[in-house]
Structure 1
Amino acid sequence: MNIQENFCPKCGGPTTNEGICDKCLAESIDWIVAEQRVVCTFCPTCGSMKQGNTWSDATPNRELLAEELALGALKVHPDVENLHFTVETYEPSPNRTKCIIHAEGTLYGIPVQETREVLVVWKKEQCDRCSRLSGGYYEGVIQVRATDRTPDIHERSRVESIAYSVEDGLQESGERLSFISRIDDIKDGVDVVISSHHIGDLITKQITNELGGKTTRHPKLIGEREGKKLYRITYLVRLPRYRRGDVIEIKNKYYEVRSVESGTIKVFDLQEGIMNVVREDDSYRIIGNVRDAEYAAVSFIDGDMAGILDPKTFMPITIPAYPWLHLSEGMDVRVMEDRENERIFPVG
């Protein structure tokens, strides 16, 4: 043995260090420490998890989450290399999960291994969203009405679909407190009760973009929170008298309404086959909506007239064969009935 070699003062063996050898150093260090107890708060209603003071909609597998929480409760010495964990879990009670962690690695070139236990406690607490839902909290009501009529089944259905679609988009983007409390289908229209002004703005904008009309806002001061004034807003969405797809009569000609904007109506001339713009006027007679048109087979073409069977009586009748329709024998054409004038006409 070289007299110049260093000796470990603890075990007496040779060492390349100036102090104790790597083996004794590794044995003297408590290289892994674990918190004995970890509390995880979750909402029993929707399953969302609480991290700090923030709720998250993430609902991971309970066993995998317990392993993740247990590993997060470990503190490992920075000099440990080649670290590897295996975790065993079991539940001593419905709100407890015990995690047994087997850790292996190398410390200063010496293989080390330890076992630690972490108890995960599952704490139930109603989340902010479910608390507001159960308490009937709301910040606004969207009242969907129509001018000189009541919204039809199609419009009511679209309002509901638009509202839930906007809600889904906001929830997916992380706006947990923007939700729909309820939707009431009433005689005069539809009422959408909402939890935030943001979701109200988005829903009303999309409704008017698709169904037309305009929105007015009527805020009411209801109190203060943290020095800020709180308002509850009533959104009145007034759908236009004429719906998209309505067929109207103007000066003994028929037009299909394509959109209503700022006092004007974009229409499709069902005789000429061209787009036009007319002034919005309450005097136009509504024949019906193209959604209610019926199909009839063309039996013959004779110049500017076409023969079909009346969809209701199955009696042979003739209708105008406008050039834009490009009718031919055997094809189907959509037709509507003007009951007041006892006339059946094509709509495309």
Structure 2
Amino acid sequence: MTRSGAFCPRCGDPIESDPGERPGQPDARDPDSVLCDACYFEEFDLVDAPDRIEVRVCSQCGAVHRGNRWVDVGAEDYTDIAIEETSEALGVHVDATDVSWQVAPEQVDRNTIRMHATFSGVVRGTAVTEEVVVPVKISRETCQRCGRIAGGSYASTVQVRAVDRTPTDEEMERAEAIAHEVVADMEATGDRDAFVTEVGEDDDGLNIKVSTTNIGKQIANRIVGEFGGTFSDSETLITEDEDGNEVYRVTYAIRLPPYRPGEVIDPEDGDGPVLVRSVQGNLKGTRLKTGKDYEASFEAGDAPDARRLGDRSDGVETTLVAIEDAHAVQVLDPETYEAKSIPRPKYLDADAETVPVLKSRAGLHVLPSDADETNDE
């Protein structure tokens, strides 16, 4: 060993080497760098650890409070969260190199995890190992989002209605599913203000209360985009915030079209029944007499004047008796079992033994199969 000619200011022993040449001692200007190894290690702590760590978690949704906000972590077991919080809270001495560590969590009770952390490193050319035990306390409370949900907070209502009818169960179920899909999309972007507060039915249709006006508008747009129809919005003043700004709730009133895809209607044009295919924009369908395409006029839009005759689901299979000519076939009446001549639409399969038919006040008509509904005129 070489002596530096310096002496330890604490014990007076000569120092073996110059402080700036010691391995693992990058900053010789550190006051402790002038100490001999014995004095240096006497008060040396490899790890700086807090006496205790508290992790705030929401007892409702499992979110973790970090900094000044709640973060969704999707954790059912908070051991990983405790390990992460512990690793961020522990500090390793700046003089240490080649540092490695491992942690062994010990579940004390439901709300306490004792973290046994073992660190090793090299300081002044000497291998150093230290173990610390840090208790992590899981503090369960209610996050702001869950508090708002529990309190019934909402900023907009989406009303699902229909023109001249009540929305079907399928339409209302799908509308509710769309609302949850929109919220899920917002949550995926990290928006914790997105939630459905309440869904309820009344005699007129479905009412969906949601947390923000933006979400309400997105839901209304998506429902109309899928089912057709229109929506309008109206504001209601409810209060003023702490800065004196007016706070409104917005109602988005959806009006679904009077007819649905799959319904059979009889427009007042004398050309016979139509199986509705679409109500996006102008109503479109298939003529049951000819199999040709039908589209309502621009003025009529999705609500042409027509009688409801039934639904595709009302159709029943019956025997195809004979092909009379290019415009007529004979089938068995599904109620009387008499052979009847009815119009032959172009989508009818002449080789079929049975065909689906709908009997209504407009007569007996052959229904198209799913593949037939897009036939050209």
TM score, norm. by length of structure 1: 0.87
**What is residue 34 of structure 1 aligned with on the other side?**
49
Q: What is the aligned-residue identity percentage?
A: 28
**What is residue 303 of structure 1 aligned with on the other side?**
325
Q: Which of 73, 78, 83 is the matching residue for 1:62?
A: 78
SS at match of 1:267: strand
- Summarize deviations over 1:2-27 as a string: whole Å, max 9, x none: xx753673464632546758855862
1:6 aligns to 2:23 (yes or no): no
Q: CA deviation at 1:311?
A: 4.8
User: How far apart, in 2, do the equivalents of 1:77 and 1:36 lie?
Assistant: 17
User: How far apart, in 2, do the equivalents of 1:22 and 1:67 lie?
Assistant: 36
Q: CA deviation at 1:187?
A: 1.6
**What is residue 78 of structure 1 aligned with on the other side?**
94
Q: CA deviation at 1:215?
A: 0.8
Q: Which of 272, 275, 281 is the matching residue for 1:253?
A: 272
**What is residue 156 of structure 1 aligned with on the other side?**
172
User: How far apart, in 2, do the equivalents of 1:35 and 1:103 lie?
Assistant: 15
Aligned pairs (5 A) from 1:285-296: 285-296=307-318
Structure 2 unpaired stretches of 5+: 21-32, 370-377
Q: CA deviation at 1:260?
A: 3.5
1:237 aligns to 2:254 (yes or no): yes
Q: Which of 184, 193, 199 is the matching residue for 2:200?
A: 184
Change (3 A) 1:110 1:347: same
Q: Which moved more, 1:34-43 or 1:278-287?
A: 278-287
1:116 aligns to 2:114 (yes or no): no
**What is residue 154 of structure 2 aligned with on the other side?**
138
User: How far apart, in 2, do the equivalents of 1:257 and 1:98 lie?
Assistant: 66
Change (3 A) 1:296 1:54: farther
TM score, norm. by length of structure 2: 0.80
Change (3 A) 1:313 1:49: farther
**What is residue 292 of structure 2 aligned with on the other side?**
273
**What is residue 218 of structure 1 aligned with on the other side?**
234
Q: Which moved more, 1:98-107 or 1:226-235?
A: 226-235
Contact 2:266/2:273 (<8 A) preserved = yes
Q: CA deviation at 1:199?
A: 1.3
Q: Which of 332, 335, 343 is the matching residue for 2:364?
A: 343
Contact 1:319/1:346 (<8 A) preserved = no
Q: CA deviation at 1:209?
A: 0.8
Q: CA deviation at 1:177?
A: 1.8
Change (3 A) 1:172 1:302: same
Q: CA deviation at 1:188?
A: 1.2
- Matching residue's letter, 1:14: E
Count of residues paired in the alignment: 343
Q: Which of 163, 166, 169 is the matching residue for 2:182?
A: 166
User: How far apart, in 2, do the equivalents of 1:41 and 1:89 lie?
Assistant: 18
- Summarize deviations over 1:156-199 as a string: whole Å, max 9, x none: 22212212222222222222222111211222111112121111
SS at match of 2:190: coil
- Matching residue's letter, 1:285: R
**What is residue 26 of structure 2 aligned with on the other side?**
none
Contact 2:284/2:293 (<8 A) preserved = no
**What is residue 327 of structure 1 aligned with on the other side?**
349
Contact 1:101/1:117 (<8 A) preserved = yes
CA RMSD, 1 decimal: 2.8
**What is residue 112 of structure 2 aligned with on the other side?**
96
- Matching residue's letter, 1:31: L
Contact 2:155/2:213 (<8 A) preserved = yes
User: How far apart, in 2, do the equivalents of 1:64 and 1:12 lie?
Assistant: 48
- Summarize deviations over 1:49-84 as a string: whole Å, max 9, x none: 111221122133322221221121111123422221
1:50 aligns to 2:65 (yes or no): yes
Q: CA deviation at 1:317?
A: 4.3
SS at match of 1:167: helix
Change (3 A) 1:283 1:329: same
